[in-house]
Structure 1
Amino acid sequence: MALYSNPVLDADWPDPDAIRVGDDFWMIASSFNRAPGLPVLRSSDLVTWEHVANALPLVPPVDHYALPRHGSGVWAPSLRHHDGVFVIVYPDPDHGIYVLTATDPRGPWSEPWCLIPGRGLIDPCPLWDDDGRAYLVHGWAGSRAGIKNRLTVVEVDPGLRQVVGSPRTVVDGDELPGFRTLEGPKLYKRDGWYWIFAPAGGVATGWQTVFRSRSVWGPYEHRVVLEQDATPVNGPHQGAWVDAPDGSDWFLHFQDRGVFGRVVHLQPMRWEDGWPQLGEPLGHGRGRPVLKHPLPVPARGDEQQEPVRSDDFAAPALAARWHWQANPLPDWYEAPGDGALRLRAQVSARGDLRDHGAVLCQQLPGRPSTWTTRVTLQGAAPGTRCGLALLGREYAWVGLVRTPTGIDVALRRSAGVAEDSLAQSPAPGGAVDLRLALDADGTATFSWRAADRAGTEAWHDLSSAWSAVEGHWIGAEVGLFAAAPPGSPVGERGGALFGPVRVTVAGKDA
């Protein structure tokens, strides 16, 4: 019997929600300040996923997210299919609850509209009831609203354009012994019961709870249905109940893996005594995560794979796998499809890549990985630099920097306000190959070699290994950048030529 292993997506796909339409499964995830946002993934078996699109080209308000707003933007979204239309409802904790729609999840998606303005409203999920009425459940962010640990339901119009009733608290976590940080609700209806699947206890330390009631307004009774127990899967919670074509039920959720972000697990789900049973049964309705299990759709194959990460830039425009740290401007890059990516050097006011929106990134895989690319520095202004970065609350990068006398290969890091130089030496020409190798703990080794001697020259490792550091609500990322110093003339800023990018994950091309 073919088995799959958890996590099915061993990389940062936070707060997943998923549905099945026909034979296809669709998943979305939080994207925070990154643009494009709201990644859309497709699968035929719940195990192997392809990143096919991003529903949100720019994060609204567009001017607000012209700068990196780490930890803000798109929080836990929900995905539904209603009357032939795919619907995403997502929260921005600083602005409100937004909605966008599409007839095909690959896009195009509509412009988002704000259903409920306000601060601190998070994790919304709609439900269209049998009588045609519609409801929305959501949680609260204490950092913005001053309240948290409670779930609210409000009636909205079926088009999700306006609120048509008064919101009510249907579950107050403060009244439940041991509950804290109750959030991330998903609202369903089955056999006359209203169901709210919601995590509690915190991202890295919590559990999954299920609530049920005969009325959408409550009162709700609850059970804890998934917990870490003796497994290595901490915080097993916040995700999606989906059904397969054969009628079986499944639950997708995340685990917080620190620098690798919130990785996605798949649990079998059964119904016993009128309640869902998730994972491996522990008794009294509780379950713990499975590490291996028979495939949901055995006929589809038995091989897991990461979504594609390598890029030869042979197609025009950027592939869905790339995102920026802020809403991009058209002049940030050129991707004409000729095998190279051109990044124009943008002014970095403080010289800090955490403040630099024009860093083009991907998630860090949760397994050992190696990233290589060739880069050519273009531009005459001293201080112009480009390279391959490992970005989080702290960061390091290897690349090229223009000096008054030429071009140097450099390795720099930043754990505070300023970058520290770990190594710097003259470069043999304006182009070098760069390599970033990460082990299973996220420890990185940066290397380079001369581009014109790539076939004969060994890699030069720079300094000692450096440990990746997670970002704000996300894991660490690998990025490409080109930056110009403040005050540099526009005509001298130039930029960098990258390509191809080759990624090997755990000995496998990705």
Structure 2
Amino acid sequence: MTYLSKTRVSDQGDGTFANPILHADYSDPDAIRVGEDFYMTASSFGHIPGLPILHSKDLINWRLIHHAIPHMPLPGYDKPQHGNGVWAPSIRFHDGMFWIFYGDPDVGIFMTKASEPAGEWSEIHLVHEGKGLIDACPFWDDDGQAYLVHAYAHSRSGIKHRLRVRRMSPDGRRLLDEGVVVIDDPERHPTIEGPKMYKRGDYYYIFAPAGGVEEGWQTVLRARHPFGPYEDRIVLKQGNSPVNGPHQGAWIELASGESWFMHFQHKDAYGRIVHLQPMTWMDDDWPSMGEDADGDGIGEPVLRAPKPNVGNRYPIETPATDDGFDQERLGLQWQWQANPESGWYSLAERSGWLRLYSRRSPESASSLYQAPYLLLQKFPALSFQAGVRLDGTGLREGDSAGLIVFGYSYAALILAFNENGNAELRLLEGDTEKQAIAWKLETSAPELSLRVLVEPGAMCTFQYSFDGMHYESVARPPFQATVSKWVGAKVGLFAQADREVGGYADFDDFTVTDVPR
């Protein structure tokens, strides 16, 4: 079923689109065309399920169709792994199969593959062990030889500003040599990372961002041999546009001959949102991206452009955010903070409702930041409101459940039962190390509606209603949402037990709409 956001839509309906194409934290995106279809993936770090798979017919209208990692098989993922896990994946189609490679900064380079992107993906395979090996991209040459280019995480390896190309077995399962460092130029291209390797004509190209996520630029390297020597050119930067740090993504060539470049923009609490730039190849075989507004030979991001020429028109759609909890599975937009356990939730116990069973935090946790059972999704727009119906009848003494905006700092509007067995509506605020009740209101109603209004700048106002129509704002200043480790703020649900487990909370109709004016 086609889903259309009630907040922000890129497709303008007149043959043009507005950037970003996704105002959501699909960090480090990579995309490919296979026939008439486009597929995208992105970093998922420690969130589960991981490695999102999105599909489009025109590069503008996207649907989240699957995750390649439903359960992380590595040790430690019973607890949150903030900032660890899946970094900067690359998706490719080769030999009739879809392939994804990514670097785990603490383990090494992994690969998974599938015959159908919405089907079952193979369990992740460790291609090459090594601490600090990240941002891996495979490349299969015309002569059957295979290569892999990757970057380094300075925090794990002590190496920075460097890209390396290595030979790889054609089956993608192992690297064959130490390869060659193809660029190490900290003066001109500091923090170069996220490489993507392509071939066009007589040249091998490596598209790679440099300069850091907030203020960086897009660099392109080219050579006549996979191992170089490579020459380089900056092809995209912010310039006079409002789009900071435009870099890291994918070159996609259409059947019509058009070229496009997908990249992210780091936008504070909203995370790394996704843009699409028109791209042309110049007579000298260098790419030109966006618009060269100041004539310096380097492109700048455009905010609006004609849609890609894919030879047809397709329905306008966006990744889903709403969930009526009336299906057999949770909506694909939801992710947990760790590998979920079967006892965390049920969609069958109460038809049309999500039941979250109250869970206890790990013994070492001093705040919800280390709680694995938070059910979260990405911020979908600059401004929006997210609401849900909560029935707390099943909560026990010491239990709490509610709606949370999550990051390094978080706030949650919760229904809780105190030591006297009385219900209280509370605003809980916390960070990575502590939390405290910032506001509370006694109530006798165990069923109510909760919502949060997120306005530009990610300023959040929590509200509640006992009749589902008339809302009151919590008497506190707006909460400033923040990023977490490498990811934007998220919004979602949870149920927690401070004492004995066994209680539960039921949620109905999680909806995301425009902020009322």
SS in 1 for 2:156: helix
Residue number in structure 2 paired with 1:498: 507
Distance apart, 1:284 and its partner CA = 5.3
Out of 485, 495, 500, the position equivalent to 1:489 is 500
**What value does the CA root-mean-square deviation take over the aligned residues?**
1.8
Match of 2:424 in 1: 408
Label 1:300 to 1:410 Cα distance change in 2 as closer, same or farther (>3 A).
Answer: farther
> How far is the alpha carbon of 1:299 from its aligned partner?
6.0
User: How many Å separate the matches in 2 of 1:242 and 1:235?
Assistant: 20
Q: Tell me, what secondary structure is at the counterpart of 1:398? A: strand
User: Where do residues 156-195 of structure 1 align in structure 2 (5 Å cutoff)?
Assistant: 156-174=168-186, 177-195=187-205
- 1:31 to partner: Cα distance: 0.4
TM-score, length-normalised on structure 1? 0.94
**2:455–2:515 Cα contact (<8 Å) kept:** no
**Amino acid across the alignment from 1:270:** T
Q: Which of 56, 63, 88 is matched with 1:50 structurally?
A: 63
Aligned to 2:212: 202
Q: Distance between the aligned counterparts of 2:432 and 2:127, measured in 1?
A: 39
| Shift in Å, 1:335 | 1.9
Segment drifting more, 360-369 vs 408-417:
408-417
Task: Provide the secondary structure at the position in 1 that maps to 2:155.
Answer: helix
Take 2:190 and 2:397, find their aligned partners in 1: how far apart are those partners?
A: 52
The separation in 1 between residues aligned to 2:200 and 2:415, in whole angstroms, is 59
Aligned: 1:123 with 2:141: no
Provide the secondary structure at the position in 2 that maps to 1:382.
coil
Residues 96 and 120 in structure 1, CA contact (< 8 A), matched pair in contact too: yes
Tell me whether 302-311 or 5-14 shows the greater mean CA deviation: 302-311
- Tell me, in whole angstroms, the C-alpha distance in 2 between the residues paired with 1:300 and 1:459: 47
Residue 454 of structure 1, aligned match among 446, 464, 468: 468
Counterpart Cα distance in 2 of 1:37 and 1:248: 31
Q: Provide the secondary structure at the position in 2 that maps to 1:464.
A: coil
- Out of 404-413 and 275-284, give the one that drifted further: 275-284
Give the equivalent residue in structure 1 for 2:381. 366
Q: CA deviation at 1:94?
A: 0.6
> What is the aligned partner in structure 2 of residue 470 from structure 1?
483
* SS at 1:478 equivalent: strand
How far residue 161 of structure 1 moved from its aligned partner, in angstroms, is 1.1
Would the alpha carbon gap of residues 428 and 381 (structure 1) be closer, same or farther in structure 2, given more than 3 Å must change?
A: closer
1:427 and 2:446 are equivalent in the alignment = no
Equivalent position of 2:454 in the other structure = 438
Count, aligned residues: 498
Alignment of 1:226-245 (within 5 A): 226-245=236-255
Distance, in Å, in 2 between the alignment partners of 1:459 and 1:507 is 14
* Residues 1:428 and 1:303: Cα distance change in structure 2 (over 3 Å): farther
SS of the aligned residue for 2:326 comes to coil
Superposed, 1:37-436 pairs within 5 Å as 37-61=50-74, 63-174=75-186, 177-272=187-282, 273-281=284-292, 282-283=294-295, 285-297=297-309, 300-301=312-313, 305-336=317-348, 338-348=351-361, 349=363, 350=365, 352-379=367-394, 381-405=396-420, 406-415=422-431, 417-436=433-452
Identity of aligned residues (%): 42
Contact 1:261 1:475 survives alignment (8 Å): yes
The superposition leaves residues 133-188 of structure 1 with CA deviations (integer Å, 9 ceiling, x where unpaired) of 100000000000010110001111011111222322111123xx332100000000
* 1:506–1:13 CA distance, 2 compared to 1 (3 A): farther
Q: Which amino acid aligns with 1:497?
A: D
Deviation of 1:379 after TM superposition, in Å, equals: 4.9
Give the 3-state SS of the residue equivalent to 1:277 in structure 2: strand
Post-superposition offset of 1:59: 2.3
- Asked if 2 retains the 8 angstrom alpha-carbon contact of 1:8 and 1:304, the reply is no
Structure 1 counterpart of 2:507, one-letter code: F
Give the conservation status (yes or no) of the 8 Å contact 1:151–1:172.
Answer: yes
Structure 1 25/380 Cα, relative in aligned 2: closer, same or farther at 3 Å?
Answer: closer
After superposition, the Cα gap between the structure-2 partners of 1:325 and 1:300, relative to the gap in structure 1 and judged at 3 Å, is farther
1:507 deviation in Å? 6.9
Aligned residues of 1:368 and 1:505 also touching (Cα < 8 A): yes
Q: CA deviation at 1:421?
A: 1.4
Say which SS state the counterpart of residue 288 (structure 1) adopts.
Answer: coil
Secondary structure of the corresponding residue to residue 269 of structure 2? helix
Q: CA 1:417 to 1:378, structure 2 compared with 1: closer, same or farther past 3 Å?
A: farther
Alignment of 1:26-41 (within 5 A): 26-41=39-54
Segment drifting more, 304-313 vs 95-104? 304-313
Distance 1:298 1:26, change over 3 A: closer
Output the CA distance in 2 between the equivalents of 1:178 and 1:235.
16
Is the CA contact (8 Å cut-off) linking 2:256 and 2:311 kept in structure 1?
A: no
Q: CA deviation at 1:2?
A: 2.1
SS class of match (1:471): coil
Asked if 2 retains the 8 angstrom alpha-carbon contact of 1:157 and 1:163, the reply is: yes
Give structure 1 stretches of 5+ with no counterpart.
Answer: none
User: Could you tell me whether the CA contact under 8 Å between 2:32 and 2:40 is conserved in 1?
Assistant: yes
Q: CA deviation at 1:301?
A: 4.8
The alignment partner of 2:87 has SS state of coil
Does structure 2 retain, via aligned residues, the 8 Å contact 1:365–1:505? no
Q: What secondary structure sits across from 1:259 in the alignment?
A: helix
- How far apart in 2 are the matches of 1:458 and 1:260? 26
Within 2, Cα distance between the matches of 1:351 and 1:481? 16
Q: Distance in 1 between matches of 2:280 and 2:516?
A: 36
